[in-house]
Structure 1
Amino acid sequence: MPTFEDQRSLLIGVAYRILGSVADAEDVVQEAWLRWSGVDEATVEDPKAYLIRVTSRLAIDRLRWAKSRRESYVGPWLPEPISTEPDVAEHAELAESVELALLLVLETLSPLERAVFVLREAFDLPFSEIAEIIGRAEPATRQLARRAREHVRERRPRFDVDRDERRRITERFVNASVDGDIDGLIELFASEVTMVSDGGGKARAALRAITGADNVSRWLVSVSSPAGIASFMASIGMAGISDLSVGVATINNAPAMVVSAGGRVITVVSLLISDGEIDTVYLIANPEKIAHLEPV
């Protein structure tokens, strides 16, 4: 229906920010469409508000289920990356609300706190409307928002380098990784850099966080070697495929290293940069989480 299609990208945005999963967000929006298709549009005063309300409630319910599922996830769990090239991220505040570091902080909130934070901070919904969505009184909703905002403020990493500098550092990281340049990587890393890998048991990845510039550098170089690449490709069922390409794309509102092969993305590496150094490396290789991305 035209009204629903007009709002689809907005609804995906709401669901993704609440869930941190593209696949789950798409499922939620599909369920919202089924709900909408059974409604007499003439009885809906504000279709946009109605669809946001339905989508948010479905996303909250799904998040409760997803949290229990993530407890049995193999290795670290990271949010699914999304492309936020300039034509996708039209509004700065919306783009900032999908940064990987923020999504990871949101993972530590309760489902209701997360929904309230997203709807208020990213989409600027009035508290009266958010209260109706979550089924709470407005004072209780404001309290949830205040608690969530304080929690995020305390834990959210701060970026003190501009977008151009982030891209330059990312490009240097890509070159050093591809060249197997351990010293070049160490030069880019903070001494206590941490690498978190998400393979989900479906791709070769470190099952625990790796810390220290030397350790992270050596692990990255080992997986970039011919033997490391062969082992990784075998782990995702692509043994023998060697047409790798590596580039930089805007992922979750930041430059990221994207590795492609066989016409699909096989790895995304996002960097948290502070004081001109890489503090954290997020490597996502679970094929189910990156299948929707366009190869470089």
Structure 2
Amino acid sequence: MTNSKSNYIQQWEPIFAQHRSFLISFLYRMTSSLSDSEDIVQDVLLSCADTDPVSIENPKSWLTKVCSNRALDFLKSAQKKREVYHGTWLPDAVPDSYEPLVMPSESPDKNILLADSLTTSFLLLIDRLTPEERA
């Protein structure tokens, strides 16, 4: 890696740190997989080595667009792989570690079953959308 690319990565790291949670939440809604979302964000960070962050007017919007495009490519590839999968596919469970992904509950005792069923239903519904519709 050249010195300028290494320097660009160092400049991008605080920007990614600021927007990482948002990007992962955004990608999770597209991919239904936390690990895939994290992988895409990491991959986009590495691909930013070619871009000077100073040249980007709105980094959050730019990163969202780049991540969205990368996720669409990933989903198209995953769709091809899933066409030969013969088992039942279910999305990942919503992790508690990412607050933007978790539905706030006013009364945990009353809403825990509703939240679980709504989350699963929502993820299954999202899975029926095409990658372009998810974006």
d(CA) in 2 for partners of 1:108, 1:37: 35
**Which residue identity lines up with residue 105 of structure 1 in the other structure?**
L
Partner of 2:3: none
User: CA, structure 1 residues 90+114, in 2 after alignment: closer, same or farther (shift >3 Å)?
Assistant: closer
Quote how far apart the aligned CAs of 1:38 are. 2.4
Tell which structure's C-alpha radius of gyration is larger.
Answer: 1
Deviations along 1:221-272, whole A, 9 cap, x unmatched?
xxxxxxxxxxxxxxxxxxxxxxxxxxxxxxxxxxxxxxxxxxxxxxxxxxxx
**Which residue identity lines up with residue 88 of structure 1 in the other structure?**
E
Partner of 2:122: 102
d(CA) in 1 for partners of 2:83, 2:34: 19
Quote how far apart the aligned CAs of 1:27 are. 1.6
User: CA, structure 1 residues 90+105, in 2 after alignment: closer, same or farther (shift >3 Å)?
Assistant: closer
2:43 to 24, 31, 53: 31
d(CA) in 2 for partners of 1:90, 1:101: 15
Query: Does residue 1:58 correspond to 2:78, yes or no?
Result: no
**Which residue identity lines up with residue 131 of structure 2 in the other structure?**
P
**Which residue identity lines up with residue 99 of structure 1 in the other structure?**
T
1:1-296 equivalences under 5 Å are 1-84=13-96, 88-89=99-100, 92=103, 99-115=119-135
Greater share of residues in strand? 1
**Which residue identity lines up with residue 124 of structure 2 in the other structure?**
L
**Which residue identity lines up with residue 17 of structure 2 in the other structure?**
E
Quote how far apart the aligned CAs of 1:99 are. 1.8
Relative contact order, higher structure (CA 8 A, sep 6+): 2
User: CA, structure 1 residues 17+40, in 2 after alignment: closer, same or farther (shift >3 Å)?
Assistant: same
d(CA) in 1 for partners of 2:88, 2:102: 31
Residue segments in structure 1 that go unaligned for 5+ positions in a row: 116-296
Q: Give the TM-score taking structure 1 as reference length.
A: 0.35
- Aligned-residue sequence identity (percent) comes to 37
d(CA) in 1 for partners of 2:92, 2:102: 20
State the 4+ residue runs in structure 1 displaced beyond 6 angstroms: none
Quote how far apart the aligned CAs of 1:58 are. 0.4
**Which residue identity lines up with residue 5 of structure 1 in the other structure?**
A
- Residue-pair matches, total: 112
Quote how far apart the aligned CAs of 1:35 are. 2.2
Deviations along 1:120-167, whole A, 9 cap, x unmatched?
xxxxxxxxxxxxxxxxxxxxxxxxxxxxxxxxxxxxxxxxxxxxxxxx
Quote how far apart the aligned CAs of 1:73 are. 2.3
Quote how far apart the aligned CAs of 1:92 are. 4.8
Q: Secondary structure of 1:13's match?
A: helix
**Which residue identity lines up with residue 132 of structure 2 in the other structure?**
L
Q: Secondary structure of 2:36's match?
A: helix
Quote how far apart the aligned CAs of 1:23 are. 2.1
Residue segments in structure 2 that go unaligned for 5+ positions in a row: 1-12, 105-114
Contact kept, 8 Å, 2:76 with 2:131, in 1: the verdict is yes
d(CA) in 2 for partners of 1:68, 1:34: 25
